[in-house]
Chains A and B, each alone.
Chain A
Amino acid sequence: MDKNNIAIPLTKKDFVSDQEVRWCPGCGDYAILSQVQKVFPQLGIPKENFLVVSGIGCSSRFPYYMDTYGFHSVHGRAPALASGAKLSNPELSVWMVTGDGDAMAIGGNHFIHILRRNLDINILMFNNRIYGLTKGQYSPTTELGKRTKSSPHGTVDYPFNPPQLALGAAGTFIARGIDREQKHLQELMKAAHAHKGTSFVEIYQNCVIFNDGVFSSLTDKMEKQNNVLVLEQGKPMVFGKDRNKGLCLVGSKLKVVTIGDKYNLSDVLVHDETNKIKGLLLSELTYEDGFPTPIGILYREDKSSYEEMMMEQIDNAKLQKGKGKLDKLFHEGHTWEVK
């Protein structure tokens, strides 16, 4: 815990474990793993203070590949395990890796409650909109009507909209990245770390086997600029190959406009990550045709974390009552002596 102990600066190598990585060749998870291994040494945290926790699923094999403390837990329950560890030792930098099935289906309850409590934990949710480890069933984020192994006639399940779910659960840091956008992803991870509270980073990730190309319109070199809106704090929401498209607010709805025609740059909405209404509007675009997909920090809010308030209560109790003495506690209330 003493930062002075770090004589040699940490590098990516320090975070690569000796375990063989067993994701499918071409899986988007490799890129994300690599970004995390690059970012961790840059955070100024002693290596031993990192804890990587996961649930179950392809993404949840992640801790085995990180040379940190790691816990591969129960399907859907990683938020609970991460919470317990963080409360036990608030000094730890806790990272939780999960997937769309793990976090949104079996672990949906824990997901909303960790956000509500705002523990200082960073959640990386790899969203490939499919179940990979069980070989190709639809997930809670699969688009309506999609044919999968368990929906041969197309799904009749409306999908969750993860950022919106996170907003509804009172999340205080809601961001989205893409496995292929590596530099951008690194910046998001650093921002997630800097945020004191639960940080939720949804990462669009390609499953080469069961859902290949699901985000190709967002990653294809020719197409992506027209389909991705990179959010930057204080900057207008401009996108497009020619940087001539923008989002405007018309009434209470967003509209895509072309700059230079009827609209100029000053008409375009300026991103303010602390504005919840804007965050909500941006989150609406998750499955919306005709709109770009926003990536970056959709919403951010500062408020006390659960563990801060918990420790404050404990400190106050110790101040007011004095540090607990068992012999005294045992004798509280009526006692009598037998001689």
Chain B
Amino acid sequence: MNDVDRSSQQRENLEVVTIRFAGDSGDGMQLTGTQFSDNTAIVGNDLSTFPDYPSEIRAPLGTLAGVSSFQIQFSSLDIHTPGDKLDVLVAMNPAAMKVHLKDLKDHGILLINTAGFSKKNLKLAGWKENPLEDKSLNNYRLIKVDMAQLVTDATGNLGLSPKIIKRSINMFALGFLYWLYDRNIDSTIKFLKSKFAKKLDVIESNTRALKAGYNYGETLEIIKTSYRIPKAKFKKGTYRNIMGNQAITFGLLAASEKAGLELFYGGYPITPASDILHYLASYKNFGVKTFQAEDEIAGVVSSIGAAYAGSFAVTATSGPGMALKTEALTLAVSAEIPMVIVNVQRGGPSTGLPTKTEQSDLYQAMFGRNGETPIAVVSASTPTHCFEAAYEASRIALEHMIPVILLTDGFLGNGSEPWLIPKYDELPAINHHQTTDAENFLPLSHDEKTLARPWGIPGTPGMEHRIGGLEKTEGSGNVNYEAENHQYMTELRQKKVDIIADNIPNAVPLGEESGDLLVLGWGSTYGAIRTAVKKCISNGQKVSHVHLMHLNPFPKNLKTLLKGFKNILIPEVNSGQLNTIIRAKFLVNSEGFNIIQGRPLTVHEIFDKIQEVVKG
């Protein structure tokens, strides 16, 4: 393809488009969205995605709770978020329409699979009358298609089972969107062939559905124009599309290779962090050792054991799992074990919102342990930044001989965007403290510059030593219960974290270093804040943006930056955790902006809030 004559077709160029596929969790919306994203990458647009799905694998059919969606913003410009308002909403059933219609722009395209609009499904979604049949949708460009029938017609002569046909319907929607945005469908056909390999009937059914959807666009009266989004202007280099969780594994693996250490991963499956385990388990030819432990505790403790024995050790989890790892983390601090703990945050408390995003584990990362147990904290701000953040967390852990918590979240972990692939040789060096110098070995002595202890690993002659969770004597590491020693060691553990500040870059603001308002953020709010602040700056407002990667310790210039602004606004997907810490530490009158709905903040929300603050 494309074997359709498009000469009669009008084409219009657009800068930026946001679309969302929504349906039952069994409708294949995630796969449809992923295919569209990959295709978008091939076209050369900048893109940002937001998969959003229920925690049940097959939630009850047709219900509001069972709706799964995939949003993508793509553009010829540099974009940072999956978009706020939708240009196109694809709704496979009434529930999907009900949940998502509020996000569709006026005159936006609403593509409906009428086959999903049975009386039963309408009732499940809480619609007494069929909204497709009254005038309530007049504000949108409504396209009603019986996708099930058209796919059945397209595959009619193949004698396929209704089940196979039904499962191909999502490809119809995808095909239509490919037509609408002037795409080539080959990438998906190639994907289908490789995914279903020998299941020829499945490949054929899906391919025909895809083409049927594409061809359907031609016949439409309501939309005579298809759209083209010119290539985005990227920096020079080679790109690929990447999800945050995969970027984490690349960062960890790159750090282990750079440090010349084997990567060990001990962990327990948990949404939304499991993909980190899946990816690492596939890197066996790099010598990566993955250990699926019996629980979260064994995941982190096995990593401590591996780190003690000389591996670069990592564990990953999400909030509830992090809670279980707490005691072991205090051991890692006490025994000065170099390791990285990734927390892909999700909505809490307890099981909370397993598949939804939230930034509510910052207090936990900073303070959530018994005893005085400071831990370094690094955070990632975009899916691609997950690579850099993982590399940085690894560097700090290995160079300072301490555990480092890396915070990401469900939005970052599952979201994707184009990644400028770095060259391995150009990544900064990572040093570590393994030694074979038995003569000068003191297990708990500390390097002046980094306060790292020497990493004497089992198997090295002459350095036999004991370590553990009891209070220790600096130098020998021997158990020590003396009063003054405990104060000394407590302060030393704090200094080990504080000294990292000498070894990290200053925060760089977008905009001026002083002005009316500083918007301070961390984590996945980056894209929304950046886009909103850019808009303010181009409107001539004295607004700046600082986004923190290092949360413990903070960059050294943060205090000066904070003091340079009349107002400070801290948007977070929690009830003000960074805000509390900033106020406590710097005695500034910062203000929080807090939306805690299991979803990312939008550009609009932040922009409007900025206006409110600036206008006082």
| A-B contacts, 24 listed (Cβ < 8 Å) | A46-B461, A47-B461, A64-B466, A64-B468, A68-B464, A72-B466, A72-B469, A73-B331, A73-B468, A80-B305, A84-B291, A84-B304, A92-B459, A310-B289, A314-B285, A314-B289, A317-B285, A321-B285, A323-B285, A330-B240, A330-B421, A331-B238, A335-B239, A337-B237
Cβ–Cβ < 8 Å partners of B301 in chain A: 73-74, 77, 80-81, 84
Check if A334 sits within 8 Å of B422, measured CB to CB.
no
The reply on A252 being an interface residue by CB < 8 A is no
Q: Which residue of A lies closest to B253 (CB)?
A: A326
Are A92 and B479 within 8 A (Cβ)?
no
The verdict on B507 contacting chain A, using a C-beta distance below 8 Å, is: no
Closest B residue by C-beta to A321: B285
Which chain A residues lie closer than 8 Å to B313 at the CB level? 84, 88
Top-9 shortest CB links A-B = A84-B305, A72-B468, A84-B302, A324-B286, A317-B284, A80-B301, A88-B309, A80-B298, A81-B305
Interchain CA distance A338-B418 in the complex, whole Å: 12
Q: Closest Cβ of chain A: how far from B478's Cβ, in Å?
A: 7
**Chain B 460-487, CB within 8 Å of chain A: the 1/0 string?**
1111111111100000001100000000
Question: How many inter-chain residue pairs (CB < 8 Å) link A and B?
Answer: 212
Chain A residues contacting B331 (CB-CB under 8 Å) are 73-74
Q: Tell me if B254 counts as interface (CB < 8 A to partner A).
A: yes
Residues of chain A with a CB closer than 8 A to B240's CB: 330-331, 333-336
Residues of B within 8 A of A109 (CB): 294-295, 298
Give the residues in chain B near A339, CB-CB below 8 Å: 236
Contacts of B464 in A (CB 8 A): 47-48, 67-70
- What are the interface flags for A82-102 relative to B under an 8 Å C-beta threshold, 1 for contact and 0 otherwise? 111111110110000000000
Which B-chain residue is minimally distant from A66 (CB atoms)? B466
Query: Which residues of B lie under 8 Å from residue A77 when comparing CB positions?
Result: 297-298, 301, 328
Q: Which residue of B lies closest to A67 (CB)?
A: B464
Residue from A17, A324, A326, A335 whose CB has the most chain B CB atoms within 10 Å: A326
- Interface contacts beyond A69-B464, A84-B264: sample of 20 additional A-B pairs, CB < 8 Å, sorted by A: A1-B459, A71-B466, A72-B467, A74-B328, A79-B298, A80-B293, A81-B304, A83-B293, A84-B307, A87-B289, A87-B291, A92-B309, A113-B294, A327-B423, A329-B283, A330-B250, A335-B240, A336-B44, A338-B235, A338-B236
B44 engages A88 (CB within 8 Å): no
Q: Which residues of B contact A323 (CB under 8 A)?
A: 285-287
B463 with A334: CB separation less than 8 A: no
A338 touches B234 (CB 8 A): yes
B309 touching A51 by the CB < 8 A rule?
yes
CA distance A84 to B311 in the complex (A): 9
Quick check: is A63 within 8 A (CB to CB) of the other chain? yes
Q: Which of A53, A80, A339 has the most CB of B within 10 A?
A: A80
User: Which of B38, B424, B469 sits near A73, CB closer than 8 Å?
Assistant: B469
Q: Contacts A48-B458, A73-B468: A318 and B287 contacting too (C-beta < 8 A)?
A: yes
> For this complex, into which size category does the number of interface residues on chain A fall?
35 or more
Is A49 close to B, CB under 8 A? Answer: yes
Measured in the bound complex, the distance between the Cα atoms of B295 and A110 in whole Å is 9
Whether, in the assembled complex, A233 has its beta carbon less than 8 Å from a beta carbon of chain B, the answer is no
Which residues from B are CB-within-8-Å of A5?
Answer: 461
Most chain A CB inside 10 Å of its own CB: which residue of B305, B307, B311: B305
Name the residue on B nearest A60 (C-beta). Answer: B468
Q: Is B266 an interface residue (CB 8 A)?
A: yes
Q: With both chains docked as a complex, state the minimum distance between the C-beta of A108 and any C-beta of chain B, in angstroms.
A: 11
Q: Report if A88-B235 is in contact (Cβ < 8 Å); known contacts: A64-B466, A329-B250.
A: no
The reply to whether the CB of A264 lies closer than 8 angstroms to some CB of chain B is no
Q: Which of A69, A113, A314 has the most CB of B within 10 A?
A: A69
Query: Contacts A81-B301, A317-B284, A334-B187; is A88 near B306 (CB within 8 Å)?
Result: yes
Contact residues in B for A81 (Cβ distance below 8 Å): 301-302, 304-305, 308
Interface check A313, CB cutoff 8 A: yes
Residue A152 is within 8 A (CB to CB) of chain B in the complex: no
Q: How far is A92 from B38 in the complex, measured between Cα atoms in Å?
A: 46
Q: How far is the CA of A236 from the CA of B280 in the complex (A)?
A: 52
Q: Please tell me if B510 contacts chain A, counting CB pairs below 8 Å.
A: no
Residues of B within 8 A of A (CB): 38, 41-42, 44, 187, 234-241, 250, 253-254, 257, 262, 264, 266, 283-287, 289, 291, 293-295, 297-299, 301-311, 313, 327-328, 331, 335, 421-424, 457-470, 478-479
Q: Is A322 interfacial (CB-CB < 8 Å)? A: yes
> Given the complex of chains A and B, what is the CA–CA distance between A142 and B271 in angstroms?
40
Q: Which residue of B lies closest to A310 (CB)?
A: B289
Binding site for B on A (CB under 8 A): 1, 5, 17, 19, 46-51, 53, 63-64, 66-74, 77, 79-89, 91-92, 109-110, 113, 310, 313-314, 316-318, 320-324, 326-327, 329-331, 333-339
| A71: contacting residue among B42, B239, B468, CB under 8 A | B468
Nearest to A70 among chain B residues (CB) is: B466
Which residues of chain A are near B424, meaning CB under 8 Å? 326-327, 330
B311–A88 CB distance below 8 A: yes
- Would A113 and B298 count as touching, CB distance under 8 A? yes
A316 to B284, CA, bound (A): 9
Contact of A17 among B42, B239, B295, B466 (CB under 8 A): B466
Are the CB atoms of A83 and B305 closer together than 8 Å?
Answer: yes
B470 and A72 form a contact (CB under 8 A): yes
Contact A88 B287 (CB under 8 A): no
Bound CA span A296–B423, Å: 59
A330 touches B306 (CB 8 A): no
Most chain A CB within 10 A, of B284, B423, B469, is at: B284
- CB-defined contacts of B307 to chain A, threshold 8 Å: 84, 88
> Nearest residue in A to B43 (C-beta to C-beta)?
A336
Q: Is the CB of B308 within 8 A of A85?
A: yes
A95 to chain B, nearest CB (A): 12
- Residues of chain B within 8 A of A63, CB atoms compared: 466, 468
Most chain-A CB neighbours within 10 Å: which of B41, B298, B328, B469? B298
Q: Is the CB–CB distance between A337 and B238 below 8 Å?
A: yes
Q: How far is the CA of A338 from the CA of B42 in the complex (A)?
A: 11
Set B262, B286, B467: member contacting A70, Cβ < 8 A = B467
The answer to whether B303 and A84 touch across the interface, beta carbons within 8 angstroms, is yes
Closest Cβ of chain A: how far from B457's Cβ, in Å?
Answer: 8
Which A residue sits closest to B425, measured CB to CB?
Answer: A327
Contact partner of A334 (CB less than 8 A), chosen from B38, B250, B469, is B38
Are A87 and B298 in contact, with the CB atoms below 8 A? no
Cβ-defined partner of B305 (8 Å) among A66, A85, A337: A85
| Chain A residue at minimal CB-CB distance from B311 | A88
A84–B241 alpha-carbon span in the complex (Å): 34
Could you say which residues of chain B place their CB within 8 Å of the CB of A72?
466-470
How far apart are B502's CB and chain A's nearest CB, in angstroms?
29
| CA of A36 to CA of B593, assembled, Å | 62
Contacting pair A80 B458 (CB below 8 A) = no
Chain B residues near A48 (CB-CB < 8 A): 458-464
Given contacts A85-B309, A317-B285, contact A49 B468 (CB under 8 A): no
Q: How far is the CB of B183 from chain A (nearest CB, A)?
A: 14
Which residues of chain A come closer than 8 Å to B41, judged between CB atoms? 334, 336
Bound CA span A91–B458, Å: 10
B361 to chain A minimum Cβ distance, whole angstroms, is 21
In the complex the two chains form, what is the Cα distance from A61 to B499 in whole Å? Answer: 33
CB-CB under 8 A from B335, the residues of chain A are: 71
B244 CB, nearest partner CB in chain A, Å: 15
* B456 nearest in chain A by CB position: A69
A87-B289, A326-B253 known; A80+B302 contact, CB < 8 A: yes
In the complex, what residues of B have CB within 8 A of residue A337's CB?
A: 237-239
Q: Are A89 and B462 in contact (CB under 8 A)?
A: no
Q: Chain A residues with Cβ under 8 A from B257's Cβ? A: 326
Chain A residues, CB < 8 A from B254: 326
With a cutoff of 8 Å between Cβ atoms, the chain A residues found around residue B461 in the complex are 5, 46-48
Residues of A within 8 A of B44 (CB): 336, 338
Instruction: List chain A residues, Cβ under 8 A from B295.
Output: 109
